[in-house]
Amino acid sequence: MAEESITPEELVSIISNVDKKYKHASKDYILIIKEEPHTPCHIYISDCEEAVWSKLLDINFFVHLKADLQLTSPLKTFAGHLISSLQACSFIERDKNAIRVSIQLQIGEGLAMGCSFKV
């Protein structure tokens, strides 16, 4: 994975301070990606009533997701596409213990693929 050259600071500048509101099963949810002091970014999803889910979004998260999707674009480009697609065309699904975020990932002109991850 030596070809992956992105610093934690560059990653934070791409993914931090994102927020999105979802409606699922007649309930409102909010997703926030936030940088915490002295730690990488986290994604938080809350139903604003009873639960908060969180997941660490570090470089390894993006490296593994990119590998799972078998993409060869630079990690910085992939992270930018993922966050743009998250804001534009994503939805959530909730089971008893987890939230799954599904994204219609736009990769260039006319190329889209689905991906998802648990929070």
Rounded to an integer, the average pLDDT of 40-65 is 89
1, pLDDT greater than 60:
no
48, pLDDT greater than 60:
yes
User: Rounded CA gap, 16 and 42, in Å?
Assistant: 9
pLDDT digits (tens, 9 = 90+) for 76-107: 988 988 998 899 889 999 887 789 999 988 76
pTM as predicted: 0.83
Domains belonging to the chain, first-starting first, are 8-118 (2.170.210.10)
User: Rounded CA gap, 54 and 73, in Å?
Assistant: 27
User: Rounded CA gap, 42 and 25, in Å?
Assistant: 25
User: Rounded CA gap, 45 and 119, in Å?
Assistant: 8
As a whole number of Å, the end-to-end CA separation of the chain is 25
- pLDDT confidence band for 108 (50 / 70 / 90): low
Tokens representing 22 are 């979802």
User: Rounded CA gap, 25 and 14, in Å?
Assistant: 31
